[in-house]
Amino acid sequence: MSERADGPAGGTVPSGPLLRTMVRRDPDEAHRVATPLELLFDLCFVVAVAQAGGRLVHAVAAGHAGQGVVGYAMIFFAIWWAWMNFTWFASAYDTDDVPYRLTTLVQISGVLILAAGVPRAFDRTDYSIVVVGYVVMRLAMTAQWLRAARSERGDARTTALWYAVGVVLVQTGWVAFGFLPHSGAQVWIFVVLAVAELVVPVVAERHRPTSWHPHHIAERYGGFTLIVLGETVAAATGAVQSALDRGHSTELLPIAAGGLLIVFAAYWIYYVVPIHEHLHGSRRAFLWGYGRYLVFSTAAAIGAGLAVAIKQMIGQAHISATSAAASVTVPTAAFVFFTWLLHACHHKPSLGRQAVLPLTAVAILACTSAGPWAVLLTGFVAALSVAVSLFLRHRITRSSDAAAAA
């Protein structure tokens, strides 16, 4: 006996059959929300994000910013791509039955293996453990696609099979990459394999786009952004505690205040407009979904930058005050700009409102030259941009109301 999985995936033990037919869910399904299993999935992924951010702090503080940023970008790609593939698949095929849950738990195990390998990847350029965790996640994803292919017919079945075959082929390349000796070609091989991963959905979706749910996708991405910002707060809090233990309470105030303002402004900027209305059509969804790598990675890097700034202030980082400031201003400016480009610009009706966030990003970069006061100034600039946006929106609303009344 089978049951169509059109209803919302619940958070309790599945009622009815323990094994359901994995058919596409209705993309117009009402009240579609993230499930507890998806939230657990996100929280476990943030463990890997925290590991990557922590090693980035260590690398930058030691004066190896270039090497640290490259390693961070590579590790974060693995985290983001595995998370993103699960998220879009779940939006289309979440049956919430026993096999689905067990396969998802295998994926969670994979990201925890990946997280365990992050220190070795940064310190020794040994990606073997990271690759093992990544391949575990991706092969579990392949099992999900094969299960979907078994239940589907026609073009939908072809799409699922293309996904499964594509993922397996790319994993053979990752296995070889994981055991390559360290060399200058390692980064370029990574780039080739990452591009291959990005191409798989483009090829597979040509046959028939999967039936993802716009509201659900928007909520999932928003929730993960919120968790990453929370990790930024946690990283900064740990650095503040370390500084307090060494008696640097007074010097901490500008960085602590600026950091809070940055996080609060980042939250406001991201959540000020709904994005689900923009997610219609595969091309638009691809560009938006792929571009989120830049939003997620820069949001997490803000926390690493705050930790570096605190370490430099207490004399534990072998870098200049300007370099420490850049570790905060650069990811903050990038977060603001990419959030505008991929998210906010679709809801800005006037040129003035469109210009606020790009100009904010430029102003934040200019704060780098302020040295020890850069973080506080960055926080003020970010908060001011929110205030200006609210003022402009209020003025436009008043003008529209006055025109309607006339």
Q: What is the pLDDT of residues 296-327, one digit of tens each?
A: 999 999 999 999 998 888 888 889 999 999 99
CB count within 10 Å of CB 14 equals 18
CA distance linking residue 332 with residue 211, whole number of Å? 34
Question: Please, are residues 353 and 393 in contact by the beta-carbon 8 Å criterion?
Answer: yes
Residue 104 has pLDDT above 60, yes or no: yes
Give the pLDDT confidence score for residue 1 in this predicted structure: 31
pLDDT interval class at 23 (50, 70, 90): confident
Residue type, position 246, single letter: R
Domain 214-405: state its class: mainly alpha
CA distance linking residue 335 with residue 270, whole number of Å? 9
Can you give the residue ranges of every domain in the chain?
Answer: 36-204, 214-405
Give the pLDDT confidence score for residue 281 in this predicted structure: 59
Mean pLDDT value of segment 373-385? 95
Per-residue 3-state assignment (H helix, E strand, C coil) for 45-60: HHHHHHHHHHHHHHHH
C-alpha closest to that of 39 among 7, 86, 75? 86
Where is pLDDT greater, at 335 or 20? 335
Give the pLDDT confidence score for residue 11 in this predicted structure: 42
Residue 286 has pLDDT above 80, yes or no: no
Question: Please, are residues 108 and 136 in contact by the beta-carbon 8 Å criterion?
Answer: no
C-alpha closest to that of 133 among 146, 120, 148? 120
Question: Please, are residues 214 and 30 in contact by the beta-carbon 8 Å criterion?
Answer: no
Range with the poorest average pLDDT among 171-180, 273-282, 285-294, 316-325:
273-282
Tokens linked to 90: 């779940």
Query: 242-273 b/e with 16+ CB inside 10 Å = b?
Result: ebeeeeeeeebebbbebbebbbebbbbbbeee
CA distance linking residue 50 with residue 40, whole number of Å? 16
pLDDT interval class at 404 (50, 70, 90): low
Q: At 127, give phi and psi (nearest 5°).
A: -100, 10
Give the pLDDT confidence score for residue 319 in this predicted structure: 92
Give the pLDDT confidence score for residue 184 in this predicted structure: 74
Tokens linked to 8: 């919302």
CA distance linking residue 161 with residue 148, whole number of Å? 9
Q: Which helix (H) or strand (E) holds 360?
A: helix 351-366
Residues comprising the chain, all counted: 406
CA distance linking residue 113 with residue 109, whole number of Å? 6
Tokens linked to 147: 């299960």
pTM of the predicted structure, to 2 decimals = 0.85
Instruction: Give pLDDT tens digits for 200-237.
Output: 999 998 878 888 888 888 889 888 988 888 888 887 78
CB count within 10 Å of CB 196 equals 14
Instruction: Give pLDDT tens digits for 118-156.
Output: 999 998 888 999 999 999 999 999 999 999 999 888 888
Instruction: Give pLDDT tens digits for 157-190.
Output: 999 999 999 999 999 999 999 888 877 788 899 9
Question: Please, are residues 378 and 258 in contact by the beta-carbon 8 Å criterion?
Answer: yes
The alpha-carbon radius of gyration of the chain (Å, integer) is 22
Give the pLDDT confidence score for residue 201 in this predicted structure: 93
pLDDT interval class at 3 (50, 70, 90): very low
Mean pLDDT value of segment 110-122? 94
Tokens linked to 123: 């310190």
Mean pLDDT value of segment 245-273? 83
Residue 282 has pLDDT above 80, yes or no: no
Residue 394 has pLDDT above 50, yes or no: yes
Give the pLDDT confidence score for residue 4 in this predicted structure: 37
Of all residues in the chain, what percent carry a pLDDT higher than 90? 50
Tokens linked to 11: 């958070």
